[in-house]
Structure 1
Amino acid sequence: MENPVLISDAEKIEIKRNYRNLLRACRNILSNEDVTEIRKAIEISLERKKEYRRPSGKLSAIHSLEVANIVASEIGLGRTSIICALLYDVIQHEDIVLNEVSAIFGKSVEEIISGLLKVKDLYDKDTSIETENFRKLLLSFAKDVRVILIILADRLETMRSLKLYDIESQQKIASEVGYLYAPMAHRLGLYTIKSEMEDMVMKYTMREVYDDIAQKLNDTKRARDKYIKDFIAPLKKELEEAGLKFEIKGRTKTIHSIHNKIKKQNTPFEKVYDLFAIRVILNSKEKDEKADCWKVYSIVTDKYQPNPSRLRDWLSIPKSNGYESLHTTVLGPEKKWVEVQIRTNRMNEVAEKGLAAHWKYKGGKGEKGMDQWLGNIREVLENPERNAIDFIDDFKLNLYDEEVFVFTPKGDLRRLPKGATVLDFAFDIHSGVGKKCIGAKINGKHASIKQELKNGDHIEVITSNTQEPRSEWLNVVVTSRAKSKLKQALKDLLYKESEFGRETLVRRLKNWKLELTDSLVHQMVKHFKMKSINDFYREIAIGNIDVSSIKEYIVGLEKKEVEKDVAEVALQKSATNFVANVDEELTGATDVLMIDKNLKNVDYSLAKCCNPIFGDEIFGFVSVLGGIKIHRKSCPNAPDMRTKFGYRIVKAQWTTGASANFQATLKITGTDDIGIVSNISQVITKDLHLKMRSISIDSQEGSFEGTVTVFVNDTSMLDTMIKKIKNVKGVYSVARIDSFSR
């Protein structure tokens, strides 16, 4: 919870400015009665929480006003959503109860704020995408799309204020927004917000690349502006002569978009041909919209040669998020390809503000496609076997693809992503149909389950009661619905087979007076080279592993145990004591590390990939299996962890005066002289009195290369040891290495 503090004069001015901007935006889109209620909500917000601050230091009141402004001006939502954006922070601090808000503003406000508070509560507990909390977070989203839109506004305002946060928070927030919220904004048709989010994420996670592209864009701005002007001039003249009312302008593509093109085309910035797009926005009556857009297309392609493969018609059948536009790519002056987007004012507002604008123009009828999508989210998430991160990965698969429109035998239209197959279509009809699918008739001709669908196909699915789902089908389907249903069906099938295999094994072992223990099962899984216990049981069920061979293995195992008993006990005792002492020193010293103040009673261990030592700059990484792994900030895995799993990174630092033994490995090269290994060992054990765990030397043609693993108290001691070993006659180089690079 934020701490109450005094408000500066500058902050008072900022509150007034945001207050006026919000009222001005509301007057443009809402009735006087609605504006009066919003004014009341603003006053409650300012009165009840005016002194709270967010982790960034920004006043909570200013944040809420700015979020409400985004909700009103940039997303175009109405009275209920604006009031919710203003008040959910107040209710979170318990300065006003939900029932009181409901009595003043109505039940719908209460329901949406309840959803927002659940999301906030989940964030306070755990933001890991791989937890059950994240599943609940997505389910909260799926109940009312306005919850998503307000949260998106909140995240956008947070990104705009990200410079106020510390570096760790910047990385964490930016990673989360890039992974979930920018794709979510895209799916909801909020292209302006999605683009801004992507650029800001890149700014904070790939700063050097971002600055490099930004600088190059700035350096080429004058030439680019001139080219756009020269391209537009003749088009403008012909459009005016055709009697069309329009606005035409050029816009440079986002830095994130340009970076993607550089990677996709594997080319430097200077050779990216479509750095900008031309947009023609028509002021047309709704009945004339399509005709006017095609008229503009005709004029553009008469003037400049089009690339037929780059025509995108979202006029005839809009995208599921309501997006309508006509895109073409033409060859402009200097033989440069230029993208031209043609749309009307109404279409442009839908493109900028997404679903909110779509609903406004369609009177609510445009919600059907989104309701279907939200229904799919619920269906996937309510499956307890479904991993939330799998859902997000599948969800993101289809975001940037085009769609195909196909028909059932009854003539019903089905919308699927480009690349969808017969099997995707079957699962889209019903999961039972998908599991039994053996092919289809497409336009009256037989087709396999792998055949990709094309616009306008009429499809009749062919099923068989003897058909069962197969794992290779995962390479055939592309939609998240099909993948989800197929994975579940395969799990069910595997479970049935593995249960049968287990029952068979238990029954046979019982006949032989043998007991099946967990330890024995794990040994057999390893012996028979199976990936999992379920796979092991399944192989028994289908006859690939003979039960008699299992009996032979168990009998042989018992004989070996008897023969090696005495020696094994002695060996295990020695090794166990040694390892236990090491582990106690590394992970048992609770005063060695201080981890994120928000985490309590956590287990931690030092990562084997980089072996951090007291004095190294470090961070914590939340393990999938529980506990925290401590890594060096220079760990080779660190960039990947920050980019893909930023939400799992926590602060960690060494406490002063800590004393413990840490394992470090050095790579040493030198001349292969007699006694050099002895000299190195003497420096470590006698001169510095350090414990040496292992040493390995490989000599070849008069030189040697080796590794030595020792226990040290801190980096200072390690540096001293490195200097002393370097002074040994015949040693060329000494360097610390990570364990996996040995």
Structure 2
Amino acid sequence: MREMLRQYELVERVKAYDPDADEAMLNRAYVYTVQKHGTQKRASGDPYFSHPVEVAGLMTDLKLDQETIVTALLHDTVEDTLATIDDIQRNFGPDVARLVDGVTKLSKIEQMPENERAAENLRKFLLAMSEDLRVLLVKLADRLHNMRTLHFISKPEKRQRIARETMDIYAPLAERVGMYEYMREMQLLAFEQLEPLAYATITGRLAQIRSEEGGQVDEIAYRMKQVLADAGLQVEVSGREKHPYSIWRKMAERHVNFEQITDIMAFRILTDSEEDCYRALGVLHRNWPMIPGRFKDYISTPKSNGYRSLHTALVYRNSMRAEVQIRTHEMHRTNEFGLAAHWAYKQGGTTPDGQVGWLRDLIEVLDQAQDAEELLENAKLAIYQDRIFAFTPKGALYQLPKGATPVDFAFAVHTDLGAQAVGAKINGRHMPLRTPLANGDVVEIIKGNDSEPQLSWLSFVATAKARASIRRFVRLREREEAIETGEDLYESIIARMPGKVGKKALNAALKRLDMADADTLMHAIGEARISEREVMEALVPGSAAELPDDSFWQAPERRVRIRGLTRGSEFELAECCHPVPGDRIVGIRDGKIVNVHTIDCLTLAKESGEDWIDLSWDPRTDGATGRLKVILYNRPGTLAEMTGIFAANHVNISHLALQSRDERFGHYIVDIEVRDLAHLTRNISALRASDAVAQAERI
């Protein structure tokens, strides 16, 4: 570890790139943090103030403005000493006080349970970032220095927790703002703690390769430089083995061992101009075969964090593969330090708007998460960086994660467009909404004015924004539908009771059931969380005992009516997707019969969009058959519990088939008669809540 920066060295560093910096304020901040932290010690035994001084040093490496340097020096004083934000403002001004407060807010929740603490940490972090991105830069430097000294912490579980949080949150955030140097070092240090055996094996194997093969990397780099020089290009070429964590991730993804990884060498070529980047690419491809599918042009279409480079992979010799990045010197600086490069003092602290659009989406997700688990799930989806590019018909570019669908695309364009999506054209062809998008796809969203997001979309969307929006819409709609269903059931209950039931009896029932209002009761009835007998007893104690058991609800014979068919047309509900009222539906004509499918049925992908018939449910339809796949734990009573759940939720089982059974599980296909999609969804939710059920999903 290098010796701690002295006061005059820190000031000299800042003055070297910003001669107009306020030297007196820098000196005051250095002295202030030394005095306030006093005799406090770190786990390493070093004085505590060595940490903020080193974080400030990291900020000078990035040539950041004096307010950021001072914030780095003071970032722990409010949390760990008697200093207050008012003290900071009085001594260093409102801008520094605001930044210090932003970083401090992230650190006051260490005592919370792990998931809650991580979620709350992330929430406050992102909100502070949205106000001033320099908060993020200081926090990333703070986390990087803490990771460098993590091995001094004696408790393994604490090291593991910090390393996991770094891997899950801070390294992806560093990548998201283009600070790849920080990202790689954080991942390497976290990897060492989380997978010590794998870390030791891979780093040892890399060292062995270096000793056995000598200067092979240098040899290839020299040969590339020579070939490019012969073509009239003056470039810098550097080579290295790939990052140990990158190798580990590739081994896990491909399910291979180290010896089967053939592309462990990576090379970087720096040129003087963008034109030279493309010329160098052509020279390399003429001299060595390229590996198909591995070329990416991030110069013409930069990543959302501003990253620009050409990527290719070559077969050098003897099936040896080498990854190559080609970029200008200026691109390289921006790529390694990303957003920080735009906060350098000479830029005046302005940040390109396009680089933080993802952050605004993430802030929107914060308001829609129901709990800590959901927040973390959405945040991880939003900040991981494996991206594809898709276009609107007018040419607007949107970056989405791999696996994204037209639904994700629609929500990326606008929340309202996502909510109203009923179909999509990909490259001019009608395709199901669950179709994964490919790089360069042109996507046109077809919308309906009265449409709403569907619960089934959660099974295939890939973005946090889409997932959070769908859950919010579904929660609101399910509550409204449950209340409406509950009101209908309530009317049928009181119609079968002896005597008239009025408002006075309802108010008394609410008190007996400890419910706040009538909507709460109707919601409980609609979700089958309270039985009809319980409602009767609450309204008029003793009334349910006077009624025979067969007076309670029985599923009626189902009548299905469809709108949008020509006179005389016959229809069948498709066996592949089993649509029920509430699903959006289309028809495919097969002779005289029209097969009715849900809008996102995979079968539709095989049909031309021009053959679709736009259909809708007739309001007089009172239900249909939904098909479920249910996996029960193989122990006595689980089948009875499943059928009991259906009975409690007012459905008839029209078909039950055991597909397979082993020592642990029984796999069943179940057809149930339901009123609508909401009724079907409530039954699935009830199944998933049962200890007898390992898995339940709609087919």
TM bucket (normalised to shorter chain) is 0.5 to 0.7
**401, 417, 427: which is aligned to 2:386?**
401
**Cα distance between partner residues in 2 of 1:328 and 1:20:** 45
Check if 1:264 corresponds to 2:253. Answer: yes
**Cα distance between partner residues in 2 of 1:203 and 1:356:** 27
State whether residues 536 and 544 of structure 2, in contact with CA within 8 Å, keep that contact through their aligned partners in structure 1: no
State whether residues 479 and 523 of structure 2, in contact with CA within 8 Å, keep that contact through their aligned partners in structure 1: no
Scaled by the length of structure 1, what TM-score is found?
Answer: 0.64
State whether residues 426 and 437 of structure 1, in contact with CA within 8 Å, keep that contact through their aligned partners in structure 2: yes
Deviation at 1:494, TM superposition (A): 0.9
State whether residues 119 and 376 of structure 2, in contact with CA within 8 Å, keep that contact through their aligned partners in structure 1: no
Alignment partner, residue 39 of structure 2: 51
Check if 1:147 corresponds to 2:135. Answer: yes
Deviation at 1:381, TM superposition (A): 1.0
State whether residues 311 and 324 of structure 2, in contact with CA within 8 Å, keep that contact through their aligned partners in structure 1: yes
Deviation at 1:328, TM superposition (A): 0.3
**Cα distance between partner residues in 2 of 1:536 and 1:99:** 50
**498, 519, 538: which is aligned to 2:482?**
498
Alignment partner, residue 319 of structure 1: 303
State whether residues 49 and 90 of structure 1, in contact with CA within 8 Å, keep that contact through their aligned partners in structure 2: yes
**Cα distance between partner residues in 2 of 1:453 and 1:252:** 33
* Structure 1 residues 192 and 445: alpha-carbon distance in aligned structure 2, compared to 1, 3 A threshold: same
Alignment partner, residue 489 of structure 1: 473
CA offsets, 1:407-435, max 9 Å, x none? 354x5433333433221222223222222
Which segment drifts farther, 331-340 or 135-144?
135-144
CA offsets, 1:686-720, max 9 Å, x none? xxxxxxxxxxxxxxxxxxxxxxxxxxxxxxxxxxx
**58, 71, 95: which is aligned to 1:84?**
71
State whether residues 88 and 97 of structure 2, in contact with CA within 8 Å, keep that contact through their aligned partners in structure 1: yes
Alignment partner, residue 619 of structure 1: none
Check if 1:119 corresponds to 2:103. Answer: no
* Structure 1 residues 153 and 111: alpha-carbon distance in aligned structure 2, compared to 1, 3 A threshold: same
State whether residues 281 and 345 of structure 1, in contact with CA within 8 Å, keep that contact through their aligned partners in structure 2: yes
Deviation at 1:230, TM superposition (A): 2.8
**182, 185, 193: which is aligned to 1:193?**
182
**Cα distance between partner residues in 2 of 1:276 and 1:363:** 39
State whether residues 494 and 538 of structure 1, in contact with CA within 8 Å, keep that contact through their aligned partners in structure 2: no
Counterparts of residues 610-625 of structure 1 (less than 5 Å): none
State whether residues 210 and 255 of structure 1, in contact with CA within 8 Å, keep that contact through their aligned partners in structure 2: yes
Alignment partner, residue 403 of structure 2: 419
**Cα distance between partner residues in 2 of 1:304 and 1:176:** 42
**306, 314, 320: which is aligned to 1:336?**
320
Scaled by the length of structure 2, what TM-score is found?
Answer: 0.68
* Structure 1 residues 18 and 250: alpha-carbon distance in aligned structure 2, compared to 1, 3 A threshold: farther
* Structure 1 residues 444 and 205: alpha-carbon distance in aligned structure 2, compared to 1, 3 A threshold: closer
**Cα distance between partner residues in 2 of 1:423 and 1:261:** 29
Aligned AA for 2:293? S
Alignment partner, residue 376 of structure 1: 361
Deviation at 1:488, TM superposition (A): 0.8
Q: Secondary structure at the match of 2:40?
A: coil
Alignment partner, residue 389 of structure 1: 373
Deviation at 1:490, TM superposition (A): 0.9
Aligned AA for 1:209? A
State whether residues 142 and 377 of structure 1, in contact with CA within 8 Å, keep that contact through their aligned partners in structure 2: no
Aligned AA for 1:63? H
**Cα distance between partner residues in 2 of 1:548 and 1:97:** 61
Counterparts of residues 578-593 of structure 1 (less than 5 Å): none
State whether residues 394 and 480 of structure 1, in contact with CA within 8 Å, keep that contact through their aligned partners in structure 2: yes
Deviation at 1:536, TM superposition (A): 7.5
Give unmatched runs, 5+ long, in structure 1: 1-10, 522-532, 560-742
Aligned AA for 1:306? M
Deviation at 1:445, TM superposition (A): 4.4
Deviation at 1:97, TM superposition (A): 4.1
Deviation at 1:517, TM superposition (A): 8.6
Deviation at 1:94, TM superposition (A): 5.0
Deviation at 1:123, TM superposition (A): 3.2
Q: Secondary structure at the match of 2:293?
A: helix
Deviation at 1:298, TM superposition (A): 1.2
State whether residues 174 and 205 of structure 1, in contact with CA within 8 Å, keep that contact through their aligned partners in structure 2: yes
**Cα distance between partner residues in 2 of 1:145 and 1:101:** 20
* Structure 1 residues 441 and 534: alpha-carbon distance in aligned structure 2, compared to 1, 3 A threshold: farther
Alignment partner, residue 173 of structure 1: 162
Aligned AA for 2:223? P
Q: Secondary structure at the match of 1:461?
A: strand
May I ask how many residue pairs the two structures share in their alignment? 527
Alignment partner, residue 65 of structure 1: 53
Aligned AA for 2:411? F
**Cα distance between partner residues in 1 of 2:119 and 2:327:** 43
Deviation at 1:24, TM superposition (A): 4.7
CA offsets, 1:138-166, max 9 Å, x none? 42343322212211111111111112212
CA RMSD of aligned residues (A): 3.7
Structure ranking higher in helix proportion: 1
Alignment partner, residue 277 of structure 1: 266
**250, 257, 277: which is aligned to 2:239?**
250
Alignment partner, residue 287 of structure 2: 303
**Cα distance between partner residues in 1 of 2:253 and 2:118:** 33
Counterparts of residues 658-677 of structure 1 (less than 5 Å): none
Alignment partner, residue 354 of structure 1: 338
* Structure 1 residues 90 and 365: alpha-carbon distance in aligned structure 2, compared to 1, 3 A threshold: closer
Q: Secondary structure at the match of 1:420?
A: coil
